[in-house]
Amino acid sequence: MTPRRRTALITGGIGGFGLALARLLLGRDFTVALADLDVEQGQKVAEELDVLFIPLDVGDLAANHRAVALVESHYNALDAVFLNAGIVGRQDPTAPLDMKAYEAILDANLHGVTYGIDAAKPALRRAGGGRIVVTASLAGLVPMPGDPLYSMTKSAALAYSRAIAPHLAEQGITLSIVCPGFADTPLIGPMRSAFEDAGFPILTADDVAAALLLAHDEAEAGSAYVVQPGSPPMPYRFRNVPAARDPSGASVAVPTGLSAHSPAGEPGQPS
Ligand SMILES: NC(=O)c1ccc[n+]([C@@H]2O[C@H](COP(=O)([O-])OP(=O)(O)OC[C@H]3O[C@@H](n4cnc5c(N)ncnc54)[C@H](O)[C@@H]3O)[C@@H](O)[C@H]2O)c1
């Protein structure tokens, strides 16, 4: 019996990384569904690639569930989900908080991940296990003063992904994270020429798509890859935090029940 084609859902699927990834996956004999907020462009791209397009605001939990149900009904199964939609902060960091912009970035960059995982989980389990790859950012690992809300949401998405990954792994779902540096997509907007003027190298969308595919193929649960120009994607090694110490000064591990999902070297484990 020939094995069935695997199906992947990509959110932010018609943006720079999403589209480059879709092309890679199609070349690998995946069936692809693209989900995005931009319906007009989405339908155009989907027609070109002959794939399913799903209008989706990732900040809407019910819509995430509907998108997954649509992929399952269309392709019979869902094997891989790339939670990749995202936006930059749309406000001056020194100005009073603009609640509309604040909620928009939380929706796209954080809820897009928490809601996306919630929606994908049952379908991936039904497919016998599967993969989730989250597009975070280097800005989630190092502060980005130019866009604090972007840093915050990417950091939160990264933390949530790492913490939920062991639970997903128990259900046969491997979740990993990719943290790209600056890349040449519409997201960086006018920053592009500043990088060019400064001679600062930036990634291509294809570089990042290759890293997303690598994470899909090879990553361990909860691992994060850093992608920077001039180097292959690198697994990021998170540093230990100082351990708790008892009155004698000996380091003490977090009780097993409370740290059951903390792999060695994670916070709570003596270093
Ligand atoms: N380009 C970079 O320098 C860079 C670096 C690190 C991380 N990232 C992250 O990579 C991901 C992809 O970004 P990109 O560079 O391809 O940007 P992009 O702007 O080309 O693509 C982002 C896509 O997400 C879609 N989107 C935005 N909000 C959405 C929502 N609420 N629901 C559904 N879709 C939505 C947009 O319509 C767009 O098609 C984002 O999460 C971004 O934060 C980008």
- How far, in Å, from the CA of 25 to the mean position of ligand 1? 18
- pLDDT tens-digit profile of 110-124? 999 999 999 999 999
Domain with CATH 3.40.50.720 in the chain: 7-238
Please work out, in degrees rounded to the nearest 5, the angle formed at the alpha carbon of residue 135 by the alpha carbons of 169 and 268: 50
- How far, in Å, from the CA of 15 to the mean position of ligand 1? 6
Res. 47: pLDDT tops 90: yes
What secondary structure, in 3-state letters, does 124-154 show? HHHCCCEEEEEECCHHHCCCCCCCHHHHHHH
The CB of 147 under 6 Å from ligand 1? The reply is no
- How far, in Å, from the CA of 150 to the mean position of ligand 1? 12
- How far, in Å, from the CA of 51 to the mean position of ligand 1? 19
Which pLDDT value is given to residue 183? 97
- Give the model's confidence band at 1: pLDDT under 50 very low, under 70 low, under 90 confident, else very high: low
Q: How far apart are CA 86 and CA 136, in angstroms?
A: 9
Which pLDDT value is given to residue 60? 98
- How far, in Å, from the CA of 270 to the mean position of ligand 1? 38
Query: Which of 214, 130, 213 is CA-nearest to residue 172?
Result: 130
Which pLDDT value is given to residue 4? 76
Class of CATH domain 7-238? alpha beta
Minimum mean pLDDT range among 17-21, 141-145, 157-161, 187-191: 187-191
The CB of 212 under 6 Å from ligand 1? The reply is no
What value does the mean pLDDT take over residues 124-142?
97
What value does the mean pLDDT take over residues 146-153?
97
The CB of 84 under 6 Å from ligand 1? The reply is yes
What whole-number percentage of the chain has pLDDT above 70?
94
The CB of 16 under 6 Å from ligand 1? The reply is yes
- Give the model's confidence band at 268: pLDDT under 50 very low, under 70 low, under 90 confident, else very high: very low
